[in-house]
């Protein structure tokens, strides 16, 4: 499947500055949520702007087979007029008939939960409401691709929840969502695909993000997490609604036979892929009834004679599992 947005050998820099972005290959599929994570200044915003066509790369290609494609900035940049006028504006400039604008405006405002604020003066909204209004102004166009720069930063918790729900609904309806965030919890909850960035480049994610739900620990000191497509794993006891279990790939120990250890989680699996990441590390993709990745050294690969089809045991502590 070819992606809606495909990037190849992209280089970007501002005149007279060192390269800011260098992306070898990235292809994004329809109806999925991809989340860019990384430190300040690692190039997330620049990459989003390149994808949106607002910045022209110095080298490489960006292919977009989607229209419309809208970017919502971190700063919502609402116009100094009413919320309704803001959200309806993209349709108004396209000379859409008034009755249809009315219909789509109502739907967009309702989706982000701002229907009661349609006549409010946009500059008087709270930060979270502004961000929701900016998202409504973008989604009223029924975008094929929605790019969002830090949509959940520095806003109130209910607004974060609303925005996450809206993005999930949009993705389920076929919109491709690409967003950047600092908020790791939000990233884990939303992402179909995590895209970590370091100094302008995409790097492989070193975290397993597993879907499922945490079971009520009751009086136990250890918690359990029911994987969506697999067994129950042990995790720290926590009360509340958690839908993601995150395990760092470095925290998974691979062994040829079953280990006797203090770690609670022992899973048998088959090696699906062996992938050299650099001169030091190798990524092992396991099939344990569900996909689970581990990162080991080349030396371990040789010692365990890991290759496609080998049977191995994956061991990790309950405390290595983080719930989101």
Partner 1 sequence: MNREAFLEAFRLLSRLDRELIAITANSMHFALASTLIAAALGIPLGVILAFREFPGRRLIVAATHTLMGLPTVVAGLLVFSFLSRSGPLGWLGLMYTPAAVIIGQAFLALPIVLSLVYSGLTRLEPELIETLITLGATPLQRTLKIVREGRIVVASAALTAFGRVVGEVGTAMMLGGNIRWYTRTITTAIALETQRGAFALSVALGVVLMIVSFGVNFGLNYMVRFRTAP
Spatial distance between the Cα atoms of 104 and 119, rounded to a whole number of angstroms: 16
Q: Where are the beta strands (DSSP E) in 142-264?
A: 145-149, 176-181, 193-198, 201-202, 207-215, 222-227, 232-236, 244-248, 253-255
Judged by CB under 8 A, the number of residues near partner 1 is 19
Q: For partner 1, which stretch binds (CB under 8 A), given 33-41, 67-75, 258-266, 291-299?
A: 67-75
Output the smallest distance, CB 50 to partner 1, in A.
12
Q: Give the count of alpha carbons within 13 A of 131, CB side only.
A: 24
Residue 78 tokens read as 């609402």
SS3 239: coil
Q: Which of 31, 12, 33 is nearest to 21 (CA)?
A: 12
Residue from 138, 166, 187, 245 that binds partner 1 (CB under 8 A)?
A: 138
Residue from 73, 130, 189, 317 that binds partner 1 (CB under 8 A)?
A: 73
Q: For partner 1, which stretch binds (CB under 8 A), given 88-96, 189-197, 203-211, 230-238?
A: 88-96
Q: How many CB atoms lie within 10 A of CB 160?
A: 19
Q: How many CB atoms lie within 10 A of CB 281?
A: 18
Spatial distance between the Cα atoms of 136 and 317, rounded to a whole number of angstroms: 43
Residue from 10, 26, 62, 70 that binds partner 1 (CB under 8 A)?
A: 70
Taking the least distance from each CB to partner 1, the nearer of 81 and 250 is: 81
Residue from 30, 31, 82, 89 that binds partner 1 (CB under 8 A)?
A: 89
Length reported for the chain: 324
Query: What is the DSSP track for 24-65?
Result: EEEEE-TT-EEEEE--TTSSHHHHHHHHTTSS--SEEEEEE-
Residue from 23, 37, 50, 71 that binds partner 1 (CB under 8 A)?
A: 71
Location of structure tokens 């080991």: 296
Output the smallest distance, CB 190 to partner 1, in A.
21
Residue 141 interacting with partner 1 (CB under 8 A):
yes
As a whole number of angstroms, the longest Cα–Cα distance in the chain is 70
Show the site string, 12-51: x = touches partner 1 by CB under 8 A, - = not: -------------------------------------x--
Q: Is 22 exposed, middle or buried (0-12, 13-18, 19+ CB in 10 A)?
A: middle
Q: For partner 1, which stretch binds (CB under 8 A), given 62-70, 170-178, 256-264, 294-302?
A: 62-70
Residue 90 interacting with partner 1 (CB under 8 A):
yes
Residue from 65, 77, 154, 311 that binds partner 1 (CB under 8 A)?
A: 77
Residue 151 interacting with partner 1 (CB under 8 A):
no
Q: For partner 1, which stretch binds (CB under 8 A), given 70-78, 234-242, 270-278, 311-319?
A: 70-78
Show the site string, 268-287: x = touches partner 1 by CB under 8 A, - = not: --------------------
Residue 79 interacting with partner 1 (CB under 8 A):
yes
Residue 244 interacting with partner 1 (CB under 8 A):
no
If residue 87 lies in a helix (H) or strand (E), which one and from where to where? helix 83-92
* Site residues (vs partner 1, CB under 8 A): 49, 52, 54, 68-71, 73, 75, 77, 79-80, 89-90, 93-94, 137-138, 141
């Amino acid at each position: 499947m070819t992606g809606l947005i495909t990037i190849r050998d992209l280089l970007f820099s501002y005149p007279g500055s060192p390269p800011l972005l260098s992306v070898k290959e990235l292809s994004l599929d329809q109806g999925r949520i991809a989340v860019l994570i990384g430190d300040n200044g690692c190039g997330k915003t620049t990459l989003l702007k390149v994808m949106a066509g607002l910045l022209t790369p110095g080298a490489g290609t960006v292919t977009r087979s989607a229209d419309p494609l809208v970017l919502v900035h971190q700063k919502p940049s609402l116009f100094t007029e009413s919320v309704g006028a803001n959200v309806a504006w993209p349709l108004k400039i396209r000379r859409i008939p008034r009755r249809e604008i009315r219909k789509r405006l109502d739907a967009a405002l309702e989706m982000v939960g701002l229907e009661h604020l349609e006549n409010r003066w946009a500059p008087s909204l709270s930060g979270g409401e502004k961000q929701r209004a900016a998202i409504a102004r973008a989604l009223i166009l029924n975008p094929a691709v929605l790019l969002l720069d830090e949509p959940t930063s520095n806003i109130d918790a209910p607004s974060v929840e609303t925005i996450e729900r809206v993005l999930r609904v949009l993705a389920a309806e076929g919109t491709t969502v690409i967003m950047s965030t600092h908020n790791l919890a939000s990233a884990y909850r939303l992402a179909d695909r995590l895209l970590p960035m370091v100094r302008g480049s995409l790097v492989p994610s070193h975290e397993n993000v597993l879907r499922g739900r945490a079971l009520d620990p009751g009086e136990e000191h250890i918690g359990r997490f029911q994987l969506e497509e697999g067994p129950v794993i042990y995790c720290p006891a926590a009360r509340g609604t958690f839908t993601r279990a995150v395990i760092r790939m470095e925290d998974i120990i691979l062994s040829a036979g079953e280990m006797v250890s203090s770690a609670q989680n022992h899973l048998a699996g088959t090696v699906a892929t062996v992938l050299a990441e650099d001169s030091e590390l190798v990524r092992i993709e396991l099939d344990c009834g569900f996909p689970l990745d581990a990162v080991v050294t080349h030396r371990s690969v040789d010692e365990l004679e890991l290759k496609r089809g080998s049977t191995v045991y994956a061991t990790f502590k309950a405390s290595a599992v983080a719930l989101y």
